[in-house]
Amino acid sequence: MSKIKIAVDAMGGDFAPLNDVSGAIIAAEEKQNELEIFLVGKENLINEEILKHKVSLKNITVINADETVTMKDSPTESLRSKPNSSISVGLDLVKQRKADAFISAGNTGAVMTASILKLGRIKGVGRPTIGSLFPTDQGRTMVFDVGASVDCKAVHLLEFAIMGSIYMKYVHGIEKPSIGLLSVGEEKSKGDILTIEAHELLEKSGLNFIGNVEGRDVLRGKADIIVCDGFTGNVILKFAESVLDVMKSKFKAYSEKGFFHKLWVGVMYGTLKNVVLKDFDYQEYGGVPLLGVDGVSIIGHGKSSPIAIKNMIYKAEDMVRSGVNEKIRQELNKDGN
Amino acid sequence: MSKIKIAVDAMGGDFAPLNDVSGAIIAAEEKQNELEIFLVGKENLINEEILKHKVSLKNITVINADETVTMKDSPTESLRSKPNSSISVGLDLVKQRKADAFISAGNTGAVMTASILKLGRIKGVGRPTIGSLFPTDQGRTMVFDVGASVDCKAVHLLEFAIMGSIYMKYVHGIEKPSIGLLSVGEEKSKGDILTIEAHELLEKSGLNFIGNVEGRDVLRGKADIIVCDGFTGNVILKFAESVLDVMKSKFKAYSEKGFFHKLWVGVMYGTLKNVVLKDFDYQEYGGVPLLGVDGVSIIGHGKSSPIAIKNMIYKAEDMVRSGVNEKIRQELNKDGN
């Protein structure tokens, strides 16, 4: 098996370079024959971090990048103003085919924008898309798009469904993923102009399209994939993430009412965490793919743990090995499209 | 004080006519000098229900309507196929100025469609809007629109903000309600074409506009009013409603694991309910107004309790007495609009 080369943004996320380096080291150790990892970022900081681990791994190389995009930087501006950021340098490795994939837990908007601009779109793709996993009764639903493409035409929602299906099949092992179209009612006639048109296209697509789904169906596992424009998807994703925060802050306020309240919340918390909170903890899912760009780019949560980083690296490996992008290219260029 | 005449859909909701009649009786009893209530629906069923209450109230009149729109009926079709439904008959009373307002816990889509078609729009209103209250850390946020107008132009979002402000001022007593524009980023430049354009309009509007808010800000009380198109609003509302259901079903599954699990959930439940679940229980909020139609129409949840029905009646009274619609008319026809 040939080694897959993965560029890891060592400066990405709230715990950089600690978690990025730790995650990369775990991955490099577990897969010494399968992976070649480039840790991209401030050389001295990365080396310091590596030293702490007291391991010597031949499949890790440090690539210097002098600048760092912070969570506060504007995505588009940072691309111009910080040409030597770990994000830019890492993506350039992919562009030059020196690396097969890039993963980052950094500024989501910046990674997304830089990926689209540097790698370009796969031929036949009108709009790239970023997917996000939501917990459901039965497992997981992946919503495309959650923010890569906010203004969409119906054909773009169809593209999301096609790309999402290929991704779910080859990376998540779901043979014929079911697809729901997010709308305001179940009937075909319900929706805005965009979704009514997209419904038509999806019906004729040959995909496993199950029809419209509603906001209430996202957490109910009605479909493996739910497609919507990136505006709506982004709003629900951020709303969903906030539910956990709101609940946590309510428990905190309650526990601050006094010692017994605190004790009681402490006693309940273990169960609560296992029963509901865990599923709503979107940080647990590791990275999400940006599909439609000509190269593999996986974006992770700013709070990614070393394990999350490791999982992002493995996800990138899966995407490269299964040739997801090549399959997207083929599918979107059928019938001389 | 002159009596306000309110037509109540006695056949609306999952517990009709029981809860509708009970709620109407409570309201009629509490406000014998302020309210005149018309209970609209199947006469014999309503009278049977009234008899059970063993009260004789002069300010309640039963108005017969032979047909009933069910939750499964299509909104537009039901208007044609059931011309004598309690919804149609009730709204006709408002149209003919025999009643000042209509309230219903029936099929939301049907009440909305019938209200718009029968009452027409207030002069100057391009799109009517339906608002829904979301719980926040600080109290409540009202989101406009949650489904009345799925395809919007920027000027319609401005109208929602104007109508919402008037409603929040006169019905909820918030002097200068703050308004957030739902988008995918805080900066003015973030959003889709619609929101970027709406941002411009809101900035120049003279309203208390605080800028863009994100999905995560809905439950955080950043603004008294959040405006968005009815597609996005409907998706979040239904998503939010489902969070409670998902949590409840997770607790149920957990408690079914055995006796001690059940006991433990039972012990925790009281606290849980008080600390978090209650706030997410959207059924508690009673009705929401349909703004922009030429008449007062309040739509309630299908599971509305008698108290919720009573609150809807009082809300309708508030709207009529404070002249919300007249103020909307004035505001939207300023500067010769």
Render pLDDT for A31-40 as a digit per residue (tens, 0 to 9).
999 999 999 9
Q: Which chain B residues are closer than 8 Å to A251 by Cβ?
A: 275-276
Can you list the alpha helix ranges (DSSP code H) found in chain B? 18-30, 43-52, 75-81, 86-95, 108-119, 154-172, 193-203, 230-255, 259-272, 278-280, 306-321, 324-332
How close B215 gets to chain A, by Cα (Å)? 4
3-state secondary structure of B58: coil
d(CA B88, CA B50): 22
pLDDT at B187 over 60: yes
Q: Smallest Cβ distance to A215: which of B182, B228, B238?
A: B238
Specify which residues B64 forms β-bridges with: B41
**Segment B8-23, tens digit of pLDDT:** 999 998 999 999 999 9
Which has the minimum average pLDDT: A211-220, B221-230, B264-273? B264-273
Query: What per-residue confidence (pLDDT) applies to B192?
Result: 94
Which has the minimum average pLDDT: A126-130, B172-176, B234-238, B247-251? B247-251
The reply to whether B75 falls in a domain is yes
CATH number of the domain residue B37 falls in: 3.40.718.10
The verdict on B320 and B248 lying in the same domain is: no
Mean pLDDT value of segment B204-211: 97
Domain span at residue A241 reads 126-284
Query: What per-residue confidence (pLDDT) applies to B275?
Result: 67
d(CA A126, CA A206): 20
Query: What per-residue confidence (pLDDT) applies to B203?
Result: 97
Which has the minimum average pLDDT: A82-91, A129-138, A171-180, B265-274? B265-274
Q: Which chain B residues are closer than 8 Å to A150 by Cβ?
A: 184, 191-192
Q: Smallest Cβ distance to A239: which of B218, B229, B230?
A: B218
Q: Which chain B residues are closer than 8 Å to A237 by Cβ?
A: 215
pLDDT at A255 over 80: no
Instruction: Note whether B275 and A251 are within 8 A (CB).
Output: yes
d(CA B191, CA B214): 10
The verdict on A6 and A142 lying in the same domain is: no
The verdict on A136 and A41 lying in the same domain is: no
The verdict on B246 and B321 lying in the same domain is: no
- For an interface test with B, give the residue of A150, A153, A256 to mutate (most B CBs within 10 A): A150
**Segment B111-157, tens digit of pLDDT:** 999 999 999 999 999 999 999 988 887 788 999 999 999 999 999 99
pLDDT at B286 over 90: no
Q: Which chain A residues are closer than 8 Å to B193 by Cβ?
A: 151
The reply to whether B17 falls in a domain is yes
Q: How confident is the model at residue B281 (pLDDT cuts 50, 70, 90)?
A: low
Tokens of residue B136, six digits: 């926040």
Say if the Cβ atoms of A235 and B182 lie within 8 Å: yes
Instruction: Note whether B25 and B60 are within 8 A (CB).
Output: yes
**Segment B26-43, tens digit of pLDDT:** 999 999 999 999 999 999
The verdict on A165 and A249 lying in the same domain is: yes
d(CA B27, CA B53): 13
The reply to whether B319 falls in a domain is yes
The verdict on A57 and A87 lying in the same domain is: yes
Say if the Cβ atoms of B276 and A251 lie within 8 Å: yes
The reply to whether A138 falls in a domain is yes
Look up the pTM and report it. 0.90
Q: Give me the DSSP letters along B163-184.
A: HHHHHHHHHH--SS-EEEEE-S
Q: How confident is the model at residue B337 (pLDDT cuts 50, 70, 90)?
A: very low
- For an interface test with B, give the residue of A152, A190, A222, A239 to mutate (most B CBs within 10 A): A239
Instruction: Note whether A146 and A131 are within 8 A (CB).
Output: yes
The verdict on A17 and A120 lying in the same domain is: yes
- For an interface test with A, give the residue of B143, B183, B184 to mutate (most A CBs within 10 A): B184
The reply to whether B186 falls in a domain is no
The verdict on A160 and A279 lying in the same domain is: yes
pLDDT at B280 over 70: no
Instruction: Note whether A68 and A274 are within 8 A (CB).
Output: no
Q: Which chain B residues are closer than 8 Å to A196 by Cβ?
A: none
The verdict on A225 and A313 lying in the same domain is: no
Number of domains chain B is built from: 2
CA-nearest residue to A241 within chain B is B216
Is the peptide bond between A145 and the residue preceding it cis, with omega within 30 degrees of 0?
Answer: yes
Long-range contacts made by residues A244-249, C-beta under 8 angstroms, separation at least 24?
A244/A277, A244/A280, A244/A281, A244/A282, A245/B216, A246/B137, A246/B219, A246/B220, A246/B276, A247/A277, A247/A280, A247/B276, A248/A277, A249/B137
Q: Smallest Cβ distance to B276: which of A232, A235, A247?
A: A247
The verdict on A250 and A131 lying in the same domain is: yes
The reply to whether A328 falls in a domain is no
Number of H helices, E strands in chain B: 12, 11
Closest-CA residue to B150 (of B227, B75, B76, B230): B230
The verdict on A18 and A80 lying in the same domain is: yes
The verdict on A103 and A140 lying in the same domain is: no
DSSP state of A189: T
- Furthest-apart CA atoms within chain B: distance in Å: 70
CA-nearest residue to B267 within chain A is A268
Residue that wins the pLDDT comparison between B255 and B304: B304
